[in-house]
Structure 1
Amino acid sequence: MEGKVAVVTGGGTGIGAAVVRRLAVRGVRCVINYAHSRDAAEALAEEVGNDAIAVQADIAEDAQCRALAGAATDAFGRLDYLVNNAGRTKFADHEDMDALSGKDFHDIYQLNVVAAFQMIRACAPALRQGPASAVVNVASVAGVFGIGSSVAYAASKGALITMTKSLARVLAPEIRMNAVAPGYVGTGWFEERLGAEGFARLNERIAASTPMHMAAMAEDIAGPIEMLLDPASHVVTGEVMLLDAGMHLDVGLSRRPGRDV
């Protein structure tokens, strides 16, 4: 992966930042996209070095997607990888059907699905020129099982998964297209809202509920994303990788085998 170029949307914080750090170690030159987190993105670019640059773009706007792709090729003359990581949600109990408005659905879908499509479309011409180009879309187990922070979020991530499979057919063989579907990820978002002690308790509770007895952090999600981008995974396209420490194995079960029955 040495010398390759990647665009990572929402790359200044959380999973995106963890991906940037892993790719930089592999010699990838990263374009760190941000919408609002300018300080974090610029600090990350300085931290990882390797010619990384931070570029502001609201990828909900198609023109800004095209400008972001252009910034990558203008800076480095090529583009090999795209990680569609930017996303949003609104927390709403699935049983409370009055908790979401039509605008909520539109806003969440616009960033989680439409923006990802716009980024793929904007980057595709440059990606097609590379010898081993790949895209990874960051979906969620919510989109697989209809769970998560809200119905709107689950629906959007389900659409992103379907789009991944559709575009894997369209863009082959020049571009591989895969998705990861994380479960809980302990990012700074939770720590800022819960405080250090509350965050630690949450992680303990999540770990106790997973077969692997772990609460995933951003770095745990970045590793599989790196793997899917790696040319060594050239046989993999159109796949959705569940990254939830095995929690999906218990979805729909009231108790785990081997426990009280």
Structure 2
Amino acid sequence: MEYGCKNKVVVISGGTSGIGLAAARAFWRDGAVVSIVGRDSTKGMIALAAIAGCKDPEAAVFPGLPEGTDTLSAAEGLAKDGSGARDSSVPGTAEELARLRYIRADITKPADCRMAAAIAACYGKDRIDILVNSAGIYQEKRIENVSVAEYNRIMDVNVKGTLLMIQACQPYMLPHGETEPGAADETAGSAQDAGNAAEETAAAENAGSGAVQDRCIINIASDAGIGGNYGCPVYCASKGAVVSLTKALALDFAPDIRVNCICPGDVDTPLLTAQLAAAKGSYTKEEMGEGYPLGRIAATEEVAHVICSVASPANSFMTGAVIPVDGGLTAIG
């Protein structure tokens, strides 16, 4: 399926698993230049392999990557010896793989977010077209049992992390030539060095073609941020904050940047699998699905399709929207 995102520069926090990983795969297959951001280097490399369609995602399928060099694209690493040789288990050309990279960063730390944005922007010649804030954590605990540390952790990742990534990327999303001074701090120099080899893979701006330069931010919240849920009040509060932040920024950033919010219901992700494991067999995915009008929970690819559709230039008049992707659950009221 085509979304019209070819050569768009895309940054996805939480792109190493779940919804973020599915979105990264969909954007990459559409021809976008994709940077996934996460804290775990091992998960990042496995995610790159999974996106590229490697036969064995658990293996070290990107040879030539120096240890600890998380910001090097797969294609750069593969071509490091100058031979152009690559692992035969990885489909796609070197050019295709050059559109895919992992950036190690903790989104709760401002400096990490600025570094990630600067590196990603280098692959687009100092521009970012699409930011997807998919990183998030979940906790199921009644309010009387929630500690201050637990509250802070959920808010740090789900709310502050979203805000910090937006702050870091927004200057690179402004119309060409209007990047705010100082946005790319001292990290930009080293980031430029990292991006030189793959820079040509990012398409030039469509200037002169008559096309509208469409930049957008897509925040991933939850149906719990719209109507609440039993037993997870802090999580609900964090996702409700993301919904409100989306609406406010849609007003503040117009007309230059569109800001929208996707609110999934239960999705078959590693996060959900961990949640079920913690519940020790109290319920299953199939039993969860019985509460939905469609009779099942969502696949990550279904949510990714909505994300890419919202990001599409074909939806250039959509901003400030809060979109449930929940199998009809919110329609029950």
Normalised TM-score (structure 2): 0.69
> Compared with structure 1, are the counterparts of its residues 99 and 193 closer, same or farther at alpha carbon in structure 2 (3 Å cutoff)?
closer
User: 1:115 aligns to what?
Assistant: 161
- 2:332 and 2:151 mapped to 1: Cα distance? 28
What is the Cα deviation at residue 150 of structure 1?
A: 1.3
**Matched position secondary structure for 1:76:** coil
- Is residue 298–residue 327 contact of structure 2 (8 Å, CA) maintained in 1? yes
Matched, 1:65 2:113: yes
User: 1:168 aligns to what?
Assistant: 250
- Is residue 159–residue 239 contact of structure 2 (8 Å, CA) maintained in 1? yes
Aligned length: 245
User: 2:84 aligns to what?
Assistant: none
- Is residue 31–residue 55 contact of structure 1 (8 Å, CA) maintained in 2? yes
Q: Which amino acid aligns with 2:267?
A: V
- 2:153 and 2:275 mapped to 1: Cα distance? 23
- 1:42 and 1:109 mapped to 2: Cα distance? 28
Matched, 1:126 2:175: no
> Compared with structure 1, are the counterparts of its residues 154 and 4 closer, same or farther at alpha carbon in structure 2 (3 Å cutoff)?
same
What is the Cα deviation at residue 153 of structure 1?
A: 0.5
- Is residue 28–residue 50 contact of structure 1 (8 Å, CA) maintained in 2? no
- Return the match for 1:98 from 144, 152, 156: 144
- 2:259 and 2:230 mapped to 1: Cα distance? 24
> Compared with structure 1, are the counterparts of its residues 16 and 246 closer, same or farther at alpha carbon in structure 2 (3 Å cutoff)?
same
Q: Which amino acid aligns with 1:61?
A: K
User: 1:32 aligns to what?
Assistant: 36
**Matched position secondary structure for 2:123:** helix
Q: Which has the larger radius of gyration?
A: 2
User: 2:18 aligns to what?
Assistant: 14
**Matched position secondary structure for 1:53:** strand
> Compared with structure 1, are the counterparts of its residues 31 and 207 closer, same or farther at alpha carbon in structure 2 (3 Å cutoff)?
same
What is the Cα deviation at residue 75 of structure 1?
A: 2.8
Q: Please, which runs of 5 or more residues in structure 2 have no aligned partner?
A: 54-95, 177-212
User: 1:82 aligns to what?
Assistant: 131
- Is residue 137–residue 164 contact of structure 1 (8 Å, CA) maintained in 2? yes
- Is residue 131–residue 218 contact of structure 2 (8 Å, CA) maintained in 1? yes
What is the Cα deviation at residue 194 of structure 1?
A: 5.3
User: 1:255 aligns to what?
Assistant: none
What is the Cα deviation at residue 208 of structure 1?
A: 2.3
User: 2:225 aligns to what?
Assistant: 143
> Compared with structure 1, are the counterparts of its residues 228 and 148 closer, same or farther at alpha carbon in structure 2 (3 Å cutoff)?
farther
What is the Cα deviation at residue 187 of structure 1?
A: 1.1
- 1:244 and 1:193 mapped to 2: Cα distance? 18
- 2:304 and 2:267 mapped to 1: Cα distance? 11
- Is residue 141–residue 232 contact of structure 2 (8 Å, CA) maintained in 1? yes
Question: Is the helix fraction higher in 1 or 2?
Answer: 1
- 1:114 and 1:232 mapped to 2: Cα distance? 30
Percent identity, aligned pairs only? 31
What is the Cα deviation at residue 44 of structure 1?
A: 3.7
Matched, 1:23 2:27: yes
Deviation readout 1:151-176 (Å, 9 max, x if unpaired): 11000110111000000001111100
User: 1:257 aligns to what?
Assistant: none
**Matched position secondary structure for 1:79:** coil
What is the Cα deviation at residue 250 of structure 1?
A: 2.2
- Is residue 217–residue 260 contact of structure 2 (8 Å, CA) maintained in 1? yes
- Is residue 113–residue 159 contact of structure 1 (8 Å, CA) maintained in 2? yes
Deviates more, 1:123-132 or 1:220-229: 123-132
Matched, 1:206 2:210: no
Matched, 1:2 2:20: no
